[in-house]
Chains A and B, each alone.
Chain A
Amino acid sequence: MAPRLTLAETQAFLGDLVRRADSLGSNCDTDLHACVFAVVAGNERLTPLEQAEIYREQFWLRHRDSLEEDFPALAQFLGADAFQSFARAYLAAVPPSSWTLRDLGLALPQFADGHDGFAEGSATIARELARFDLGFITVFDAAAAPPVDAAKVAAIAEEAWAGARIVLQPGLALFTFKHAIHEFRSAVRQGEDPQPKSIDARPVRLALYRGTDLRVHQAELTVAEHALLVALREGAPLSAACERALLAADNENRMPGADSLDPGEVEAKLGGWFAAWAARGWVTDVVTSP
């Protein structure tokens, strides 16, 4: 007679059992079957294996469905079968560890970066979609700081702006992609059935932010505006951030086939950008040196 398991041992055994990839009925491991029969009682209608299988099946269904809900564009892009395989691989490699399903996909983009099971030619887009889908999750309920005080901004002396640090909303997410995946995702969310081949191989810079309606919105940014925001996010003073934006615009101009960008774009547009950022709630503070 097998020794009786403690509560902790029982839970550890079942925890492993329900996370097994293959159905228990199809498993031919007689030792495993014996262990299940030693722990689970079964009844007249269901064997111990069948009882345990209910939980195993629900584990995979629940988490796969949750990932599909959180990564709608990636799921559409890969197709049902490929997404299911990918989700299973992810869940096997990165077991759910948080008390909230909201966190289930936090490590999915990182996993996708190292995943070699994508169809040929699709890995880059899949990885970009994984990052972008996750952005919607994290921005949706991110902590928010109050928007910048307009009176405080108005009181900043002109000469203080060069060294000012513009503090951005923590929930503002910035992305650089090689494909216009945001258009594909928008189509998915609108209930359309976009095909992977419709994704434009056009480099894009994107922002995700929570609007005043508290819903997540996306905005396409120019190279310079994106570079400026990234620099500000990293804590650069405004003058240094503008230099980085100019450099980025200049580098973009050197790219074959790039649209012509005016190197003076940053200075000319800075005021307008700042006003737009403030209106969207992206700016939470402007810190000037004493």
Chain B
Amino acid sequence: MTKTDTQRPARLGLPDLGCGIGFRIPHYAHVFDTKPAVDFLEIISENFMVDGGLPLKNLDRALADWRVVQHGVSLGIGASTPLDWDYLRRLKALTRHTGTPWLTDHLCWTRVPGADLHDLMPLPYTEEAVHHVAERVRIVQDFLELRVGLENTSSYLTYRASTLSEWEFVSAIATEGDCGILLDVNNVYVSAYNHGFDAYTYLEALPHERIVQIHLAGHTNKGAYILDTHSDFVVDRVWELYRHVISRVGDVTTLVEWDADIPEFDTLWGEAKKAAAIRDAVRAESHGA
């Protein structure tokens, strides 16, 4: 008998690793020299899917002192092209090397026949796309022998063909594909702004027990739309959304991304500490209630 979603354990039974940061080149020297007590590091898988050299050396140094979680950008789970088995074999080898407790990538498509766009292209929110992605994520999870968490992306266009809301779409894929959700709270905020929906409605509607990790990041407001640039501090409204999620979901592994105009390490770590403080506060409130 299959468990219903409401009977599933929080985070699909995966551990809460605390609050971590993205492992980025400008911080390598500082991280290796000072060994900060950051809870975990998240790597971009593709940066380490190489044959040798400095990237793998740096990865091994990180693995020696921190839990490392893998996050990818090239899985292309929503693409209509066949799954790339060469990519998946390399990815699986890396997951075995890092011991990542789960693997995340984006709920999007990245390639068409003959070209890889290297972008997180949004999917139309249709039943066809739900079934397509759900089938592929099941295959990928079976192959990797790992739980996969799919991240809601920031998007800048919507399709006339969509028949579902974004939260219905994400929820349906997670349930049908029996996969996790990497909830990017900033992306919810960005897409809510870009497409005019209520972010809290989105957050309430998700199957909370499937949220295995959370991402936080800064963005750039272009006026007519917000661009997900990972180039600044997390804005207050995103922190408010994060607090809301934690109050509903409980402690979930949280990662702060900063990929452009990267600041000093301590600035980034300060954002992770801020997330940890919110988790602590919410936990204290719930215990006091």
Contacts and interface: CB of A to CB of B under 8 A. Distances in A.
15 contacts: A7-B129, A40-B159, A41-B158, A41-B159, A41-B160, A41-B162, A55-B119, A95-B114, A96-B118, A99-B110, A100-B46, A141-B55, A142-B52, A171-B52, A210-B53
B49 interface: yes
Interface string A1-36: 000111110111011101100000000000000000
Interface of B: 46, 49-57, 74, 76, 79-80, 84, 87, 109-119, 121, 123-124, 126, 128-129, 132, 156-162, 194-196, 224-225, 227
A11 B54 contact: no
Interface in A88-113: 95-102
A240 to B, nearest CB: 30
A12 B113 CA distance: 8
Contact of B161 (A10, A45, A58, A63): A10
A144 interface: yes
A215 interface: yes
Contacts of A62: 118-119
A76 interface: no
Among B57, B110, B158, the one with the most A-chain Cβ atoms within 10 Å of its Cβ is B158
Nearest to A46: B224
A284 interface: no
B159 A10 contact: yes
A274 interface: no
Contacts of B52: 141-144, 171
A144 B53 contact: yes
Contacts of A215: 54
B160 A40 contact: yes
Interface string A129-141: 0000000000011
Contacts of B113: 12
Nearest to B129: A7
A39 B160 contact: yes
B197 to A, nearest CB: 11
Contacts, number: 125
Given A7-B80, A40-B159, A142-B53, 11 more contacts: A8-B80, A10-B159, A18-B119, A41-B160, A41-B162, A45-B225, A54-B156, A59-B117, A99-B76, A100-B74, A171-B52
Contacts of A98: 116
A8 B111 CA distance: 11
Interface in A135-169: 140-144
Nearest to A5: B161
A152 to B, nearest CB: 22
Contacts of B156: 46, 51, 54-55
Contacts of A192: none
Given A43-B195, A141-B52, A51 B157 contact: yes
Contacts of B119: 18, 55, 58-59, 62
B247 to A, nearest CB: 30
Given A12-B113, A140-B53, A144-B53, A99 B46 contact: yes
A101 B79 CA distance: 18
A63 B50 contact: no
Contacts of A4: 161
Contacts of A174: none
Given A54-B225, A96-B118, A97-B115, A7 B128 contact: yes
Nearest to A63: B118
A44 interface: yes
